[in-house]
Every structure is written in structure tokens, then in C-alpha cells.
Chain A
Amino acid sequence: GAGVSQTPSNKVTEKGKYVELRCDPISGHTALYWYRQSLGQGPEFLIYFQGTGAADDSGLPNDRFFAVRPEGSVSTLKIQRTERGDSAVYLCASSLLLRDTQYFGPGTRLTVL
């Protein structure tokens, strides 16, 4: 389909491990956003990209979290030394331009044991 896709759909890992979550935005969308949604909560903003650069990373909880978008399309959210509190659904969204409608992917459910 032509929507935002995220892989994997589910990821189970052990405490202390490193994980990478991938987001494929809608083709041609210049802005890309990452959110985290914990059970019973709304999405929490993490970071957004305009092109290849991180325009606002103020939502990243600590330096274990890092995201890249090297070619201005696909983005990877990287989490080092995972903790049980990192367990959540990680959502990616893209928009054609900044301030345009954001289209969300289905998310990656991360479980840290």
C-alpha cells in the first residue's frame, strides 16, 4: 500500500539489549515524526525530521534514544541498553510538508523483558 509502514510490527527483547525500529514514510513526504504510546495513554512526541535533519528532538527521553534519517526518506529509531520502561508502541508518522496532515503507521510494539 501507499501508507506509512513500520517494521517489525512486534519486537520482544531482553533488558539491556539494543533495538532498531524502522519507518518507511509515504513517498515524497518531507517531514517524519516519531511518537511513543504507552498503554492507556495518547502518543508522546519524541522527535521529528525535516528532510535529513532532526528539526526537534526535545521529546527523546534520554541519550539511550537516537534516530536517523540519512537520505530523507526511511528513518530508524535506535534504543540502546533497553529498559522495561521502554515497553510501548512506537508510532511513526509522515507529512508532505511541515504543518500538513500527519499520516501514522500502525506502530511497532516493543516489549522489553
Chain B
Amino acid sequence: TQLLEQSPQFLSIQEGENLTVYCNSSSVFSSLQWYRQEPGEGPVLLVTVVTGGEVKKLKRLTFQFGDARKDSSLHITAAQTGDTGLYLCAGAWDNYGQNFVFGPGTRLSVLP
């Protein structure tokens, strides 16, 4: 069974703090995606990474794909209350990259 682990499961921080959440697997990904999901809504894609060692930035969010393509991290600088939500990673193991498997998510609360 191919499993994705995410840590921490829950994270509560004050506005303005920095944070990092992690996504890990024992298997090698062909590609990996990060999503944010708010209550009552579907996940919204933030980024897709495909190359080992790749770093992508989206405003205050920095995504890194591990060199071995088995893990990824999401770093948020100066968190805002609007960053609150469930952060999901989803990995694809096959060459088609179509069937993504989601991790359980990290639930982030940013307090004012």
C-alpha cells in the first residue's frame, strides 16, 4: 500500500509566525501536489512539483520537493489568518500522473 504521511496533524500559531509542514512517503513520486481546503469547500490546487530538489514560491508560500522525490515541505512566512485551512499533499506514483493519492492533511489555524 502506498501511503502518504503528513506532519504535524494539527498546528495552531499566531499571525505573523512562520511554519513548515511536511509530506513523506517511502515511495518515489513522479509528481506531487499541494492543496488547501477550507470547510465546506473542495481542495484548491496550490502547486505541482515534478523535479527532485525543485523549489517553487507562491507569494509567502515556499514549496520544496526532496532530492529523492520521496518527500516535500511547505513553508509559510508571516502567516495570516487567511492561511487557515487544511493543507493536503497528493502524490502520483505512475508515469501518467493521473491517479493522485492524498495524504491526511495538516489542519492549520492562524490566530489573530
B-side contacts of A106, CB under 8 Å: 40-42
User: Are B104 and A43 touching (Cβ within 8 A)?
Assistant: no
Which listed segment binds A: B51-59, B60-68, B74-82, B94-102? B94-102
Assess the A99–B98 pair: CB atoms within 8 A. Answer: yes
A42 and B88 within 8 A (CB): yes
A91 B42 Cβ-Cβ under 8 A? yes
* B43: Cβ under 8 A from any A Cβ: yes
For residue B11, CB closer than 8 A to chain A, the reply is: no
The reply to whether B42 and A4 contact each other, CB–CB distance below 8 Å, is yes
A-B pair count, CB < 8 Å, reads 48
Q: How many residues of B contact A (CB 8 A)?
A: 20
Q: For the complex, is B111 an interface residue (Cβ under 8 Å from A)? A: no
CB of A56 within 8 A of CB of B98, answer yes
Return the CB mask of A92-111 against B: 1 if under 8 Å, else 0: 01000011011111110000
- Of the residues B40, B96, B104, contact of A42 by C-beta under 8 Å: B104
Query: B103: which A residues are within 8 A, CB to CB?
Result: 42
CA distance A21 to B98 in the complex (A): 23
Chain A residues with Cβ below 8 Å from B88 are 42-43
Question: Are the C-beta atoms of A101 and B45 separated by less than 8 Å?
Answer: yes
List chain A positions with a Cβ less than 8 A from chain B. Answer: 4, 35, 40-45, 48, 56, 58, 91, 93, 98-99, 101-107
Interface of B with A (CB < 8 Å)? 4, 40-45, 48, 88, 90, 96-105
Given contact pairs A42-B88, A48-B99, A105-B42, a sample of 13 additional A-B residue pairs in the complex whose CB atoms are under 8 Å apart: A4-B42, A42-B90, A42-B102, A42-B104, A48-B98, A56-B98, A56-B99, A93-B42, A98-B98, A104-B44, A106-B42, A107-B40, A107-B41
List of 4 A-B pairs having minimum Cβ-Cβ separation, nearest first = A104-B42, A42-B102, A43-B102, A42-B88
